Structure 1
Amino acid sequence: MRAALFSPSPYVAPTGRRGWPVPVDDYSDEAARDSMELSLEQFQLADECGFDWVTLAEHHFAPFSLTPNPMVMAGAVAQRVKRAKVALLGMNIPTINPVRTAEEFAMVDTLTNGRVIAGMLRGTSNEYVTYNTNPSESRERFAEALKLIVKCWTEPQPFGWLGRYFEFRSVSIWPRPVQKPHPPVYMSGSSPESAEWAGRNRIKLGFAVTTLPLARASSQIYRAAANDAGWDPCPDDVIYRVGIQVAETDAEAMENASRFGTRRQPAPAVGEGGQSPQARDVGYATSNMRVDDAVAQAGYYGRDRENQRARVRMGGDLRDRIENAQILCGSPDSILHQAQRLRDELGAGILDLVFAGDRDHSLRSIELFGTKVLPRLHEI
């Protein structure tokens, strides 16, 4: 198995603001710089400790993520991270210019000499409010945008594009991706429809803010669709993003989980429930459900809305959350046991880890994981 470190660059200063979008009248330039620098420091340490990937994401208008354009952050990451792959998990491609996205991925792939991973997402429901995009079109927009991005990467001659949602008279991107035919592409497997589409179209899959039973169901759909399409996903084709508390003993890790909670975990997006403890911690609240409901009425969720919303109800007993793989928590031996279960039950080969806690605690945890867990994880 491989390990990735994820940070959405959450705002480090406390804010009492609730709802979405979050007002900025108590915003601090210094706190924002400190937030981004801490993420860069975490990424650099992870690279030095042997992590295989570092990962970024796109979100808007809230302090839990200061990377509305993760491509910009990836340029800074490329100057600090010299070995690990740089994964953008991901870009909300139905709401942005797909040609520009293809160009930026190619730039980062060039800057990193072929180490970029391309995560393509439909985006969460608030992203459709952010950029005034019709959520009922999200799946069709996603499919067209992805097809166009791949053509931008692979077509050697200038071409035009006249689609249902995107139109370009002439396209010929420079620079080109270093990786051939193009960087690895992942998408979210959070819904049955997405998992089935990914399997049918030979796309790699990622899970985030979910539970083991729900991920298991989507994984089965994904693999069945892949087999029908004539291919068999391998462990490197499946990512599982999850928060982690690792310590020398189980008792210490449990204590740290109670103390630090999920403060530096990414909050689940409002389109996926938005009512978990970590969402409340970083400025999401009940008003987001109005956004969620409006977008759902436009057809964003598909056929399994309640399961998708249920997957982010992260409260309850810590031991239950460990059992449901909503958090990895324990000693190095316990973390390895929990990782093995994800490999066995989901076929997941990449853990995308979020280290909760303040600066000193998160950096100590990254180093402990790198020295006492990662060498053995690589053997699974």
Structure 2
Amino acid sequence: MKFLHYTSAPWPDLTEPFGTFPHPNRACDPDRAGEVLRDTLAHMVAAEDVGFDWLGMGEEHMNAYGMVPNPTQLLAVVAARTRRASIAVLGNPLPLLNPVRVAEEYAMIDVLSDGRLVAGFPRGVPQNYSAYGISTDDSRDVLCEAIDLVLAAWERPEPFAWQGKHFSFPAVSIWPRPVQRRPEIVMSSKSAEGVRMAAKRRAVMAEIFVRDGAVLEHFETSRTIYLRQAAEDGWSPGLDRFAINVPCVIASSDAAARRLAAGALHYQHTCLTGSFEVQKQALANQYYQESAHLLGRRFDSVADRIAYGGLICGSPGTAVDQIRTLLRRHPVGVLGLQTHFGNLTPDHVHDSLVLFGARVRDDVLTWDAERTRQPHE
């Protein structure tokens, strides 16, 4: 069982939603942005100190939900400041980028961290294609070829030519090479075709944004597809092939945690992820196809989210019980507890991290080890 600390480095100071995409950057004071990013880095280091196993960030463009247009930049700093935890780039959406450049930047993090890179290869979200003026057509096919190119760049010791459907390079030979011959790969659980692609590469299938209960139900549908594909390919995945990430607030009391979570989730829904919902839905309808229904406008209460497992929220003892319930329903080998979301303050994030390390982590790991020995619990 491994724990992921994940953040998008959200902008915490909006007083009202923009309602359009891209978000006008008049609201982004550069000095304040520096404070938010420095706090984000400090939380990453603190997360390792309290026992998180993966430290992760994603990529966002032109919106206040996340101020990390290139997670490899910040995670390179995290790699240099930490010693144990895996550095999880979750990740660079390859259809938007030069895959050779991604192979190079990922390899640098693996070298800098002495072999701790976890490489996320998402297709990317539709609004980021819009931000870069890139069509989503054939994006899954582009992703598939780009992953193969990155893997080849990591693994081949001599220069090689690449002539594919979407990419052409006369010679590829990256410096430095990664410490790991093939770092751990993480891919999305959103679409059936993407899940099959993940299973064929024995990648971790992850859901990073549990928006509501339907997302968790869809995750289980995707797990079935993954297991079926793996069986056809002749291998049996363990729980370490599956990961989910949920918001988390741990405080001195249940009431205090719920109060903080309610405010942060409301801010996230109104000012961040929900602030350009109509445009996002229009972009997503064809892109996600069979899973587009997951993106409908919905705001669940704290109590509802706790009930279906979409939020860990309470005192340390309550958090332990909620994590156990979540893992019984959705067994995974990597559990993300996103203590930094919405407009939570750095002190609130730090308190959650400290309480997790002191009074949650070991209890969950002990229980998880016992249930592993007793699979029919």
Q: Tell me the amino acid that sits aligned with residue 206 of structure 1.
A: A
Where 2:354 maps in the other structure, the secondary structure is: helix
Aligned position for 1:6 = 6
RMSD: 2.0
Aligned position for 2:309 = 325
Aligned position for 1:124 = 125
CA distance in 1: counterparts of 2:254 and 2:195, whole angstroms: 34
Aligned position for 2:200 = 200
Aligned position for 2:319 = 335
State whether residues 235 and 343 of structure 1, in contact with CA within 8 Å, keep that contact through their aligned partners in structure 2: no
Shift in Å, 1:108: 0.4
Distance change >3 Å, CA 92–CA 222, structure 1 → 2: same
* TM-score (ref. length: structure 1): 0.89
Q: Tell me the amino acid that sits aligned with residue 146 of structure 2.
A: A
Q: Single out whichever of 64-73 and 207-216 deviates more from structure 2.
A: 207-216
Q: Tell me the amino acid that sits aligned with residue 246 of structure 1.
A: I
Shift in Å, 1:291: 4.7
* TM-score (ref. length: structure 2): 0.89
CA distance in 2: counterparts of 1:38 and 1:94, whole angstroms: 30
Aligned position for 2:22 = 21
Pairs within 5 Å for 1:116-155: 116-155=117-156
Deviations 1:1-23 (A, max 9, x none): 22111122222333543321011
Distance change >3 Å, CA 253–CA 293, structure 1 → 2: same
The yes-or-no answer on 1:240 pairing with 2:240 is: no
Shift in Å, 1:314: 5.0
Aligned position for 1:221 = 225
Shift in Å, 1:44: 1.2
CA distance in 2: counterparts of 1:35 and 1:62, whole angstroms: 15
Q: Tell me the amino acid that sits aligned with residue 49 of structure 1.
A: V
Distance change >3 Å, CA 195–CA 336, structure 1 → 2: farther
Aligned position for 1:278 = 268
Q: Tell me the amino acid that sits aligned with residue 219 of structure 2.
A: A
Q: Tell me the amino acid that sits aligned with residue 235 of structure 2.
A: W
Distance change >3 Å, CA 164–CA 218, structure 1 → 2: same
Distance change >3 Å, CA 7–CA 175, structure 1 → 2: same
Distance change >3 Å, CA 136–CA 148, structure 1 → 2: same
CA distance in 1: counterparts of 2:90 and 2:46, whole angstroms: 20
State whether residues 15 and 282 of structure 1, in contact with CA within 8 Å, keep that contact through their aligned partners in structure 2: no
State whether residues 56 and 90 of structure 2, in contact with CA within 8 Å, keep that contact through their aligned partners in structure 1: yes
Where 1:161 maps in the other structure, the secondary structure is: strand
Aligned position for 2:355 = 368
Shift in Å, 1:372: 0.6
Q: In the comparison of the two structures, how many residue pairs are matched?
A: 359
Aligned position for 2:375 = none
CA distance in 1: counterparts of 2:136 and 2:358, whole angstroms: 44
Where 1:74 maps in the other structure, the secondary structure is: helix
Distance change >3 Å, CA 178–CA 309, structure 1 → 2: same
Aligned position for 1:188 = 188
Shift in Å, 1:57: 0.6
Aligned position for 1:359 = 346
Q: Single out whichever of 231-240 and 49-58 deviates more from structure 2.
A: 231-240
Q: Tell me the amino acid that sits aligned with residue 254 of structure 1.
A: R
Deviations 1:238-288 (A, max 9, x none): 111110112344333223323x3337xxxxxxxxxxxxx6242237524x5
CA distance in 2: counterparts of 1:293 and 1:133, whole angstroms: 15
Pairs within 5 Å for 1:249-264: 249-258=253-262, 260-262=263-265
CA distance in 2: counterparts of 1:45 and 1:113, whole angstroms: 20
CA distance in 1: counterparts of 2:158 and 2:38, whole angstroms: 40
State whether residues 117 and 184 of structure 1, in contact with CA within 8 Å, keep that contact through their aligned partners in structure 2: yes
Aligned position for 1:54 = 55
Where 2:287 maps in the other structure, the secondary structure is: coil
Distance change >3 Å, CA 201–CA 75, structure 1 → 2: closer
Aligned position for 2:87 = 86
State whether residues 190 and 291 of structure 2, in contact with CA within 8 Å, keep that contact through their aligned partners in structure 1: no
User: Hey, which bits of structure 1, 4+ residues long, moved more than 4 A?
Assistant: none
Shift in Å, 1:340: 2.7
Aligned position for 2:103 = 102
Where 1:135 maps in the other structure, the secondary structure is: coil
State whether residues 54 and 86 of structure 2, in contact with CA within 8 Å, keep that contact through their aligned partners in structure 1: yes
Distance change >3 Å, CA 26–CA 320, structure 1 → 2: closer
CA distance in 1: counterparts of 2:298 and 2:280, whole angstroms: 20
State whether residues 118 and 186 of structure 1, in contact with CA within 8 Å, keep that contact through their aligned partners in structure 2: yes
Aligned position for 2:374 = none
State whether residues 127 and 283 of structure 2, in contact with CA within 8 Å, keep that contact through their aligned partners in structure 1: no
Q: Tell me the amino acid that sits aligned with residue 367 of structure 1.
A: V
Where 2:115 maps in the other structure, the secondary structure is: coil
Where 2:149 maps in the other structure, the secondary structure is: helix
Shift in Å, 1:216: 1.7
Identity %: 31
Q: Tell me the amino acid that sits aligned with residue 327 of structure 1.
A: L
State whether residues 332 and 373 of structure 1, in contact with CA within 8 Å, keep that contact through their aligned partners in structure 2: yes
Shift in Å, 1:328: 1.2
Distance change >3 Å, CA 343–CA 295, structure 1 → 2: closer
